[in-house]
């Protein structure tokens, strides 16, 4: 009898936990699940079938003010007062909870964003790795003792948390982009207010549930779910109690955020758009290059800021590469991300779907050839699916070469010389990531140093990792996330001068 009751109780608890880890209908402010003050909500849809997932609060600036005040109070009275080791203990528990719940978190992510479930679970673990990494870094926020020219003076540099941090995060990596930013901020002793993308709020809310269980003080982690992106974003950027803004998204929006933050001279970090060149030289290992291109181009259905955008292939290896690349692309299965057999999920919404179709149409009109894919499957009932496309005979006047595609379309450009490839690669005004495939070690180093990007993958199609600084140059933004440099954007460097020290002045002896 005892065993039966225990078993039933265990199943009930598991069921409760499952529900609690699912789709939250309220937002998270000051450690509490709350509705918007106006009572307004907005609906969220599954991009694989157009079905409504649920609704969440449509917050306005009054809700945002409540979140900022909560974060401000928590910063000054709770979180920043803890030692690095104390913060580390809470963050490690947070990490453990994320890993423990990775499968459920992955299902939430796939349902609202669309990427294949195995990719979604991979994203959860990738995001968790930043919490683990910065949990250790919390104990290593070092200062310096500076040499002094005066015998009775001592000089120091200490690093202190910057304060309340505002995050505006994208829909393509709705979990990991939040965790990558929050990891560094929380480790430094900062508190955060997050505005997640309106297409994907549930991943962020599920993470809040785990943060509460991990033991973060109320007000340390706050979320503003809202369709009023411009209004709420402006409010956060101009709020005097927010000391730092971090944004991941388009270059166009990033420029507006930069301008708005100027009113309070905020510290900002921007991870903006890219147009990554993927260069395959004659000396490349073709199998390795194709494998890298598939991973880089079609991950998350091409909806990543670092994915291969312009695939440049040298003429001596062009036919061999294209034959294998087309073959592998045709093998990709498109469908609902919850189906284990699929490789590519839908694109995020109708606007993105139509934008990608326009890219393909523009290329056709300008003389490009569609080697495979690119077929439309219109309508919400069938989801926002596009077969992965390969476009050849691409010239630099086409949108697929000039703009960031952000979809499952590979634009192929044939080139003759190394200089030609580098010039094409550097011809755009953004510089986030680039990829080079070659077995010529001299060429690898030569080209890597000439490319105008913040990151370069050499014979690698997936380059992001917690140990490496993620970020770009030019109009791809500034600031770095991850690595030993990731804490720099969340601390202030303070110089302390201690003078008048008695007994150290030689004249007094």
Could you report the per-residue pLDDT of 46-95, keeping only the tens digit for each?
999 999 999 999 999 999 999 999 999 999 999 999 999 999 999 999 99
Are the C-beta atoms of 247 and 258 separated by less than 8 Å?
no
Per-residue pLDDT tens digits for 210-242 = 999 999 999 999 999 999 999 999 999 999 999
Other residues' Cβ atoms within 10 Å of the Cβ of residue 326: 18
Catalytic annotation present for 271: yes
* pLDDT of 205 strictly over 70: yes
pLDDT band at 22 (very low <50, low <70, confident <90, very high): confident
What does pLDDT average to over the chain? 93
Q: How high is the pLDDT of residue 12? A: 35
Compute the distance between CA of residue 61 and CA of residue 50 in angstroms, rounded to an integer.
29
Per-residue pLDDT tens digits for 303-342 = 999 999 999 999 999 999 999 999 999 999 999 999 999 9
Weakest-pLDDT range from 13-27, 95-109, 178-192, 231-245: 13-27
* pLDDT of 1 strictly over 90: no
Cβ-proximal residues to 449 (8 Å cutoff; 6+ apart), any chain: none
Sign of CA pseudo-dihedral 457, 463, 468, 470: positive
Compute the distance between CA of residue 426 and CA of residue 483 in angstroms, rounded to an integer.
26
* pLDDT of 20 strictly over 90: no
Q: How high is the pLDDT of residue 79? A: 98
Taking residues 401-412, report their average pLDDT: 96
Q: How high is the pLDDT of residue 167? A: 98
Compute the distance between CA of residue 343 and CA of residue 214 in angstroms, rounded to an integer.
34
Taking residues 430-452, report their average pLDDT: 98
Nearest CA to 162 out of 82, 266, 58, 259 is that of 266
Q: How high is the pLDDT of residue 492? A: 97
Tally: H helices and E strands in the chain: 15, 24
Phi, psi of 486 (to 5 degrees): -65, -25
Distance, CA of 202 to chain centre: 16
Phi, psi of 7 (to 5 degrees): -65, -45
pLDDT band at 507 (very low <50, low <70, confident <90, very high): low
pLDDT > 70 fraction of the chain, expressed in percent and rounded: 94
Q: How high is the pLDDT of residue 156? A: 96
Q: How high is the pLDDT of residue 4? A: 43
Q: How high is the pLDDT of residue 7? A: 41
pLDDT band at 8 (very low <50, low <70, confident <90, very high): very low
Compute the distance between CA of residue 404 and CA of residue 299 in angstroms, rounded to an integer.
15
Domains, the chain: 13-272 (3.40.605.10), 276-458 (3.40.309.10)
Q: How high is the pLDDT of residue 377? A: 60
Nearest CA to 384 out of 369, 365, 406 is that of 406
Strand, helix or coil at 271? strand
Q: How high is the pLDDT of residue 485? A: 95
Other residues' Cβ atoms within 10 Å of the Cβ of residue 80: 18
pLDDT band at 503 (very low <50, low <70, confident <90, very high): confident
Phi, psi of 23 (to 5 degrees): -95, 105
Per-residue pLDDT tens digits for 235-269 = 999 999 999 999 999 999 999 999 999 999 999 99
What pairs with residue 27 in β-bridges? 34
**Catalytic-labelled residue, pool 271, 371, 404, 418:** 271
Q: How high is the pLDDT of residue 379? A: 45
Q: How high is the pLDDT of residue 376? A: 67
Compute the distance between CA of residue 211 and CA of residue 466 in angstroms, rounded to an integer.
20
Other residues' Cβ atoms within 10 Å of the Cβ of residue 436: 28
Compute the distance between CA of residue 155 and CA of residue 153 in angstroms, rounded to an integer.
7
Cβ-proximal residues to 226 (8 Å cutoff; 6+ apart), any chain: 42, 57, 58, 59, 60, 63, 64, 195, 198, 232
Model-level pTM?
0.92
Compute the distance between CA of residue 90 and CA of residue 346 in angstroms, rounded to an integer.
36
């Amino acid at each position: 009898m005892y065993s039966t009751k225990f078993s039933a109780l265990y199943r009930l608890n598991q069921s409760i936990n499952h529900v609690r880890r699912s789709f939250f209908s309220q937002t998270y402010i000051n450690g509490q699940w709350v509705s918007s003050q106006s009572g307004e909500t907005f609906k969220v849809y599954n991009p694989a079938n157009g079905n409504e997932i649920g609704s969440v609060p449509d917050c306005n600036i009054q809700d945002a003010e409540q979140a900022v005040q909560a974060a401000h109070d928590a910063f000054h009275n709770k979180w920043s007062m803890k030692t690095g080791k104390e913060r580390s203990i809470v963050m490690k528990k947070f990490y453990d909870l994320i890993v423990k719940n990775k499968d459920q978190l992955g299902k939430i992510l796939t349902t609202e964003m669309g990427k294949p479930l195995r990719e979604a679970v991979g994203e959860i673990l990738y995001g968790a790795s930043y919490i683990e990494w910065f949990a250790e870094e919390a104990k290593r926020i070092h200062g310096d003792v500076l040499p002094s020219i005066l015998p009775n003076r001592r000089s120091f540099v200490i690093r202190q948390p910057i304060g309340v941090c505002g995050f505006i995060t994208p829909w393509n990596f709705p979990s990991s982009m939040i965790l990558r930013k929050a990891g560094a901020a929380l480790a430094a002793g900062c508190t955060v207010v997050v505005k997640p993308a309106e297409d994907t709020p549930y991943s962020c809310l599920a993470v809040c549930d785990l943060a509460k269980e991990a033991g973060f003080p109320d007000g340390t982690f706050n979320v503003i779910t809202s369709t009023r992106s411009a209004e709420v974003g402006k409010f956060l950027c101009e709020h005097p109690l927010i000391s730092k803004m971090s944004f991941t998204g388009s270059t166009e929006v990033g420029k507006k955020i930069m301008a708005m933050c100027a009113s309070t001279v905020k510290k900002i970090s921007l991870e903006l758009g890219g147009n990554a060149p993927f260069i395959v030289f004659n000396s490349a290992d073709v199998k390795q290059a194709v494998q890298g291109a598939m991973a880089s181009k079609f991950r998350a259905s091409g909806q990543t800021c670092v994915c291969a955008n312009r695939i440049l292939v040298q003429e001596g290896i062009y036919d061999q590469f294209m034959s294998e690349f087309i073959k592998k692309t045709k093998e990709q299965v498109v469908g609902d991300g919850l189906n284990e057999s699929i490789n590519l999920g839908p694109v995020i919404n109708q606007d993105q779907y139509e934008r990608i179709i326009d890219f393909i149409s523009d290329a056709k009109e300008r003389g490009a050839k569609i080697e495979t894919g690119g077929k439309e499957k219109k309508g919400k009932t069938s989801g926002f699916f596009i077969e992965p496309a390969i476009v050849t005979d691409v010239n630099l006047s086409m949108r697929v070469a000039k703009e960031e595609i952000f979809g499952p379309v590979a634009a192929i450009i044939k080139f003759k010389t190394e200089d030609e490839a580098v010039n094409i690669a550097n011809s755009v005004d953004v510089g986030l990531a680039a990829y080079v495939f070659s077995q010529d070690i001299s060429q690898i180093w030569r080209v890597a140093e000439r490319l105008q990007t913040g990151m370069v993958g050499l014979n690698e199609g997936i380059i992001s990792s917690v140990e490496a600084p993620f970020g770009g140059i030019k109009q791809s933004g500034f600031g770095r996330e991850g690595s030993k440099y990731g804490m720099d954007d969340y601390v202030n460097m303070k110089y302390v001068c201690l003078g008048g020290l008695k007994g150290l002045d030689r004249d007094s002896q």
